[in-house]
Structure 1
Amino acid sequence: MKLLRFGEPGKERPGLLDSQQQIRDLSSVVSDIDGDSLSPDSIARIKACDIATLPVVSNAQRIGACVNRVGKFICIGLNYVDHCEETGQAVPAEPVVFMKATSAITGPNDGVVKPRGSDKLDWEVEMGIVIGREASYVDEADAAEYIAGYCVVHDVSERSFQLERGGQWDKGKGCDTFGPIGPYLVTADELENPLDLGIWLSVNGKMYQNSSTKNMVFGPAKLVSYLSQFMSLQPGDIISTGTPPGVGLGQTPPVYLNVGDKISLGVAGLGEQTQTVLPSP
């Protein structure tokens, strides 16, 4: 299933994308798409409903972030071999972990705001894992049971904040609008192999990132198991699994985003996003 949220910011309702690419209102089945509705029992209840009886929603509706009330927005750095090469860093022996502020989360087609003082605004298309069950000290062999589904994540980054202002990476990762997710959450049962998906991003029509999730250093099961050794994972938590090569920082010379630029990105089977860079208020 493809689960989504539609409506104006702060007023989104739960929905489902049917086989005809129509949005169906799920409000009579679940109150929202969040941790409570992503448990195995809730997913089973949604699957059991008669989709044809659910109200059809205009596709002109704004699409919001596909998961609400995200508790933790966990990111993995340097998780594609060829991205390590373009940044001049060694392939990590263990996952590189950092956090992105949940206040950065926006809808997949909402604008990306260039922060005040930003001069190195960059892009990173990623596949996101959405947790469906509480996970603590999970074995890798069992990790798939804790994944509710997958989605597209845009890990927008400000490189000067991230790399030149001291401390850890979080300052360049957590600005408002730096975390578009969606357009929908694809439940795990619908995705045959999350490690064989095309992943791409273009800016103003020029393709910069074009790879496959098969090039990941650490796959979804490994990441869920690994993270659960250090923190419990709750339903609705998101793990953004890292970006392939082709980021602006890796270009020669580097290329960064400016106000008015249009970004398109997607992951095969998980949908596409489109954003325009907006000035800071």
Structure 2
Amino acid sequence: MAAENALYTILVEKIKQNSLILPTLPEIALKVRDKADSPDVNLGQMSDIISQDPALSLGMIKVANSPLLSRTVKVQTVNQAVTRIGLTQIKSIATAMVVEQIFVSKNKIVSIYLAQSWKNTVNIAAVAIALMTFYKRNNKHSSLSLDELTLASLVHSIGVLPILTEAEKHSDVFANPTFLEQAITKLSNKLGAEVTKAWGFSDELVELVRSWNDLSVLPKEAHYLDFIRAGAIYNDVFKNEETCNALLKSYVDKGVLPDVLFMKSEEFTTMVDGIKEMF
């Protein structure tokens, strides 16, 4: 218990003193985001930037050929992928796709946690993205954006990274499942908010990361939180059955879900599986 509390204490103090080293976005993501914010950017320039990173290039082609965007003809080049996805979506999707690159560690226990965390994130994101896709078909004028949800759902649990990074520095003491579980439970949301703030994300996204599993925060209208929480329910993150049923009913009332059993339909699960393949 002493060591368990020690990791928690170290992290809290570093947060207070602004001395906690936060993970940084890979350079390719920074280039994409910077270029996307330029008023003079065009598809060719964006394709050239993305082509500098083989993994991101492949990822963009997979996204363009995914159930979300796929047409009869499959794209085969980065330029074709960027054209199909569009400049308005490239910034968020590219950022989300390179996040996986920072989920790495040389410590065996920490590495296992990172791999599991990314898998859980993708599982939740796939459900959220699929659900938003169906929602947008029936709510074409909604201000909610699929690319914003994609980014939000893939960084909603980013707060585990600084926790695991700190544990890796003191692996002889803290790289222990018991210690890590307490720190993740108590601090990941707050740390996630700090990470996304440091990355220059919107205030709305920062607040979403801070509160995605705080069920005292209940938006009255359809919100990105609803789609991510639906993904969490689908993947058994929330354990209280009564709470899950109440949330699902509220999503039906807000139009996020057609009915409470929708996420069990074959059409929905097929789309979820297809989206998982993108990541």
| TM-score band w.r.t. shorter chain | under 0.3
Hey, which of these two has a bigger chunk of helix by percent? 2
Hey, which of these two has a bigger chunk of strand by percent? 1
- Tell me: higher relative CO, structure 1 or 2? Use CA pairs within 8 A at least 6 residues apart: 1
TM-score, structure 2 length as denominator?
Answer: 0.27
From the CA coordinates, give the structure whose radius of gyration is larger: 2
TM-score, structure 1 length as denominator?
Answer: 0.27
